[in-house]
A and B are shown apart, each in its own frame.
Chain A
């Protein structure tokens, strides 16, 4: 199952997506990831203000039977976290690219985006999985 892979986003091999709006990157997990996790029951998010390096683990997505670490695609400072997920973690399943966003980071180095997978490359990555 390849799931939905929106064309306007960038992706990591670990199944995170990032959408860039100005100098801010919005980060979440992909449709493929949420499908394989099953019903998401909890999302552990970092504190606002935390500074992350690219590919640093910043949180955890927990389903009934498994737990997945989530990694930040880029370096930056966390400027917002999705507090809705505390009461409705299932949003990650229902709307992984919209309501299910997890954190927003202020990009420290926009050039890092070029090292990420584009939609086609990510779609190929999950086909081969």
Chain B
């Protein structure tokens, strides 16, 4: 199966998959209802296929794709853990999947209660006081969190605070988010272990500091031992501290960002809480806050009024809304089911996530460089620096060679502060045989890099397509089917 034609290329004029019942009300000419200048002149060029052709098309496409359900997917900081199938049943229950957002709150009490309960559970896990479930993704949560911080400073007429400090080990969304909220980004040096350089931090904090954004463990998979000091330094300067919860899978039940001094936290339900990535989304990025930021939360907020759950829109200091409705409720429902499945045993999730990552690190330390020689948390960062310098084999080549093993490569070239970085996050849901198979493949590729580097550099060999010409894609963008 070399290529699968586009669905448009399979279309035949006049074919249809789905038909609808005849119109059961008297029909009137469209032109008598809507001015003709507002009507479409030519029908939209959509596909025309039968149902079996449609089903085969998408089935064939799915078979050209890797997923957690297929095999190992150790992307660092993405937490590609198993997505429980019972969660798929839960989000499809009639009261969940087929509830309308605008139906009166009295008719959706089960859903409001679910939101209220999730808020409490996530606050318990993170050590925060209140949580909004409205952001639809991690980056969306970041924007919400930074806007909350902005609103806080504005409410105190503290308008000189125009800067957000971001460690140079941070994910790209952090500075992009700060810019979207109108802040200037100041980069602060990380130490070799990814922790914040305290001396460098003291140099850059001041009366113009709105916030510091960081993730802990850092993007090197290591816990910042000075985290409470970092928070204290920023607080002393009058700024607030933001926690990027992408790496929460490392610490559930062991530590809580609220206890480390963070004022705002975002979580990624599609990472830590097992909701499926879906090929790129939908996710959910709840944001937790300490009491001082509660007045600014997006509307509406779920509150209890006696025995009833209600939507509270009466919040004059709210930043407004970041989503059309209440967020990705269908994703929250999946995470709710996940929390029901674990309860306080979420701690074991983190325990085994950390065990698995350290096991991989222990088995590969003699084959690759370590970014930092210390027990890691839920992910380990290796480097192909020596392999590149001595044999010309880069991290990119190793990643492509892994594809031949049926394994999705780890995250590559991130964090930026590690040369030829390979960031591996196995998660807790992998069995030992899978971990050993990955370790074996990585060891063999490292050997091959020394003995037959060309084989690695010309990979992949067995995938449905070879390496792609990304320069061509960007120079001559072909972004849609244009017909004949």
Binding site for B on A (CB under 8 A): 38-39, 41-42, 62-65, 89-90
Contact = CB atoms under 8 A, between A and B. Distances in A.
A89 B472 CA distance: 11
Interface string B465-484: 00000110111000000000
Interface of B: 470-471, 473-475
A42 B473 CA distance: 11
Contacts of A63: 471
Q: Would you list the 8 A-B pairs with minimal beta carbon distance, nearest first?
A: A41-B474, A39-B471, A64-B470, A41-B475, A64-B471, A64-B474, A41-B471, A89-B475
A1 to B, nearest CB: 14
B362 to A, nearest CB: 32
A62 B475 CA distance: 10
Contacts of A41: 471, 474-475
A79 B235 CA distance: 51
A65 B396 CA distance: 12
B118 to A, nearest CB: 38
Contacts of B470: 39, 64-65
A64 B469 CA distance: 10
Q: Is the interface of B mostly helix, strand, loop or mixed?
A: helix
Contacts of B474: 41-42, 62, 64
Chain A CB count within 10 A is highest, among B470, B473, B474, for B474
Q: Is the interface of A mostly helix, strand, loop or mixed?
A: loop
Given A39-B470, A42-B475, 12 more contacts: A39-B475, A41-B471, A41-B474, A41-B475, A62-B474, A63-B471, A64-B470, A64-B471, A64-B473, A64-B474, A89-B475, A90-B471
Contacts of A90: 471, 475
10 contacts: A38-B471, A39-B475, A41-B474, A41-B475, A64-B470, A64-B471, A64-B473, A89-B475, A90-B471, A90-B475
A63 B472 CA distance: 11
A35 to B, nearest CB: 14
A38 B474 CA distance: 13
A114 B474 CA distance: 38
A42 B470 CA distance: 13
A44 B302 CA distance: 47
B409 to A, nearest CB: 16
A27 B470 CA distance: 27
A53 to B, nearest CB: 20
A65 B471 CA distance: 9
B159 to A, nearest CB: 27
A84 to B, nearest CB: 13
A39 B472 CA distance: 9
Nearest to A42: B474
A118 B219 CA distance: 41
A88 B212 CA distance: 42
A65 B470 CA distance: 9
Contacts of B471: 38-39, 41, 63-64, 90
Contacts of A62: 474
Contacts of A64: 470-471, 473-474
A41 B471 CA distance: 6
A63 B470 CA distance: 10
Nearest to A64: B470
Contacts of B473: 64
B174 to A, nearest CB: 18
A38 B471 CA distance: 9
A53 B34 CA distance: 55
A62 B474 CA distance: 9
Chain A CB count within 10 A is highest, among B470, B471, B473, for B471
A41 B470 CA distance: 9
A36 B68 CA distance: 35
A118 to B, nearest CB: 31
Contacts of A39: 470-471, 475
Nearest to B471: A39
Nearest to A39: B471
B388 to A, nearest CB: 14
B11 to A, nearest CB: 32
A46 B125 CA distance: 51
A65 B395 CA distance: 15
B147 to A, nearest CB: 26
A64 B473 CA distance: 9
B474 to A, nearest CB: 4
A123 B473 CA distance: 34
Nearest to B475: A41
Contacts of A42: 474-475
A127 B475 CA distance: 31
